[in-house]
């Protein structure tokens, strides 16, 4: 069975103002880089509001829908904008992760990558921020737990920014282990080690500016992987941001493309040990177009190797 890649042209219809780092070209570069690969290509459905209600209150979902401008842009946060296509893009992004969970848990794909935007890990329960509208990774987690009846899932977030939204949405969720590494200090400022959740199921791993591959690997081997193995998740969800790359303009970590391949391979190995290899990965950040495309391809190629 082949690795599934879920995407939709609507995700290219979410347009941001000139010069904004979270731009249409990001996904175009990724899709181009994935083109030669032998993948199971899946058109992402629109999420149902019942799906979104697992993580956001109804008034927030309505507010996002009502914020859609008929032309131009509407700014809904310091750095989050909506264009006429943003609502459809956000519903496709959320729909992609739901479908990806269904495919992986239903045996239709061994693992899956959602090539979507807008990203999701900064969206809190009632707050859109950091380029994010709906909390895609947390939605995948809740869907796996509540719809499929899993008892334990894990989210691993290696985006360079703290996954404050995922942390907020899963703060009270004892069935979800959330492991997130982030450059500190860096926007949004949260993600200290003492932020551990209502049930001690959140592990924050701050990394100092300049942290390279060797130190990142040591941190994951010492902290993240033992927690994962102890928790024994039945599905691993990855918030795959590629902005810890040394070429990224928004942050100051020094990971190479090989480091993204390494962390993916390790997570695939752990998923093999614990949960039949089941991984659902979803795109978060990554703002140097070439580094983003190269690292995403390396990530997907590792998922493909694990799928064999």
Output the furthest CA–CA distance in the chain (Å, rounded): 50
Site residues, Zn ion (CB under 5 A): 159, 161, 241, 243, 285
Q: Closest residue to Zn ion, Cβ-based?
A: 285
Provide, rounded to whole angstroms, the least separation between the CB of residue 159 and Zn ion. Answer: 4
Are 272 and 280 in contact by the 8 Å Cβ rule? The answer is: no
Provide, rounded to whole angstroms, the least separation between the CB of residue 45 and Zn ion. Answer: 26
Distance between CA atoms of 163 and 183, rounded to whole angstroms? 11
Provide, rounded to whole angstroms, the least separation between the CB of residue 276 and Zn ion. Answer: 30
Kindly name the residue from 8, 56, 122, 162 that is annotated as catalytic: 122
| Exposure of 70 in the CB half-sphere (CA atoms within 13 A) | 0
**29 a catalytic residue:** no
Cβ closest to Zn ion, residue 236 vs residue 240? 240
Cβ closest to Zn ion, residue 102 vs residue 159? 159
Please provide the size of the chain in residues.
Answer: 308
Provide, rounded to whole angstroms, the least separation between the CB of residue 48 and Zn ion. Answer: 27
Distance between CA atoms of 8 and 225, rounded to whole angstroms? 33
Cβ closest to Zn ion, residue 159 vs residue 173? 159
Cβ closest to Zn ion, residue 110 vs residue 213? 213
The position carrying tokens 């989210």 is 155
Distance between CA atoms of 105 and 79, rounded to whole angstroms? 35
Provide, rounded to whole angstroms, the least separation between the CB of residue 274 and Zn ion. Answer: 27
Joined tokens for residue 138? 């947390």
Q: E-assigned strands of the chain?
A: 4-7, 40-43, 74-77, 80-82, 111-114, 153-157, 176-183, 202-207, 236-240, 279-283
The position carrying tokens 């982030």 is 182
Cβ closest to Zn ion, residue 13 vs residue 21? 21
231 Cβ contact partners less than 8 Å away, ≥ 6 residues apart: 152, 154, 177, 201
Strand partners, 180: 157, 204
Instruction: List residues with catalytic annotation.
Output: 122
């Amino acid at each position: 069975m082949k690795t599934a890649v879920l995407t939709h042209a609507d995700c290219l219809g979410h347009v941001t103002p000139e010069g904004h780092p979270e731009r249409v070209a990001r996904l175009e570069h990724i899709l181009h880089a994935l083109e030669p690969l032998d993948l199971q290509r899946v058109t992402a459905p629109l999420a149902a509001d019942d799906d979104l209600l697992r993580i956001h209150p109804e008034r927030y979902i309505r507010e996002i829908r009502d914020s859609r401008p008929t032309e131009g842009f509407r700014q809904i946060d310091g750095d989050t904008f909506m264009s006429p296509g943003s609502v459809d893009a956000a519903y496709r992004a959320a729909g992609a992760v739901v479908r990806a969970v269904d495919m992986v848990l239903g045996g239709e794909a061994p693992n899956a990558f959602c090539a979507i935007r807008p990203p999701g890990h900064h969206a809190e329960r009632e707050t859109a921020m950091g380029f994010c509208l709906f909390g895609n990774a947390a939605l995948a987690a809740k869907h796996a737990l509540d719809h499929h009846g899993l008892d334990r899932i894990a989210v691993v977030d290696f985006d360079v920014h703290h996954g404050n939204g995922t942390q907020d949405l899963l703060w009270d969720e004892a069935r979800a282990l959330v492991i997130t590494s982030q450059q500190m200090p860096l926007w949004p400022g949260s993600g200290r080690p003492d932020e551990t959740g209502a049930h001690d199921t959140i592990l924050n791993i701050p990394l100092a500016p300049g942290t390279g591959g060797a130190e990142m690997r040591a941190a994951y081997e010492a902290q993240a992987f033992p927690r994962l193995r102890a928790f024994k998740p039945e599905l691993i969800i990855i918030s795959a941001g590629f902005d810890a790359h040394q070429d990224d303009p928004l942050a100051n970590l020094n990971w190479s493309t090989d480091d993204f391949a390494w962390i993916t391979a390790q997570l695939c190995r752990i998923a093999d040990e614990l949960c039949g290899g089941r991984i659902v990965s979803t795109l978060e950040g990554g703002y140097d177009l070439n580094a983003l495309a190269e690292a995403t391809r390396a990530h997907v190629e590792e998922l493909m190797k694990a799928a064999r």
